[in-house]
Amino acid sequence: MQAAAPDAPESTVPVQRWKAVCAYDGTSFAGWQSQPGGTSLQDVIEARLRVLAKGLVRVHASGRTDAGVHARGQVFHFDLPWRHGAERLLAALRVGLPPTILIKSIRPVANDFHARFSATGKRYEYHLYLGHPDPFIRPYVWPLDRPSAPDFAAMRKAAKVLRGRHDFAAFSAFTGEEREDTVRTLRRLEVVRRGRRVTLVAEADGFLYKMVRSLVGALVSVGFGKLTPEDLRRFLDEGRRTPAVETAPPQGLFLVRVDYPRAAPKRMNAVKRAKPRG
């Protein structure tokens, strides 16, 4: 009986681009982008891929979340020669990551796919809490410990002003990098209250640096009478950042979903998140 041929050496396996979807608790990380101390999400994921690839592998995310910001559906891509299929790659990558990061799915994609530049939209949620939250909730909300609740009708009126296609320069913060186009289409901005929990849902074709947290800060200021919906309209028209727009703290913010054009499946099916045990 003829012996089975050995696996081809890794050097003969073609490089494949992989799309991954992950969730993470951002509390203990210095944001997504790589940092000198190696404490970012990018650093941790790349360190695990370096073990699998026996060399440097760069990951490219749909966007850079700040320190303390969380995600349920962050997307990143990377290039890796891997002959064992998506399911085994998913399992291998999960094994070496901390429990605060979950790779939800991995699948092969075309080489021209880019996690950031191929995206057509994103959805964020920001969570507020009226009063003193449970200690198991506090790391994931902005507590509004005030004598009275905000004016939700005013907040919803202000959200309506902000929806649509505008120059959102007044609701972003720049870091000295080359200034990008600040026009975005805010498709959805809603204020949803369930008891003491308040969720602000934002969907757009893209978001500027700290744009969601600035929108939230502005809406909360409207809710407590510090600003009016007309003030927000004026800020949009003026197109300049103002101290009147407060930046909400990071812990209440979640990147929920990144949207891409529909594409035909590539050779192998995506590996779905395993059902929770117990």
**Triad 201, 202, 205: Cα angle to 5°:** 155
129 burial via Cβ count (<10 Å: 0-12, 13-18, 19+)? buried
One-character DSSP codes across 171-213: G----SSPPPP-EEEEEEEEEEEETTEEEEEEEES---TTHHH
| Whether 114 contacts 255, CB under 8 Å | no
43 is catalytic: no
Q: Of the residues 7, 25, 43, 66, which is catalytic?
A: 66
- Percent helix, strand, coil in the chain (nearest 5)? 25, 25, 45
Tokens encoding 97 = 């990551």
Residues marked as catalytic: 66
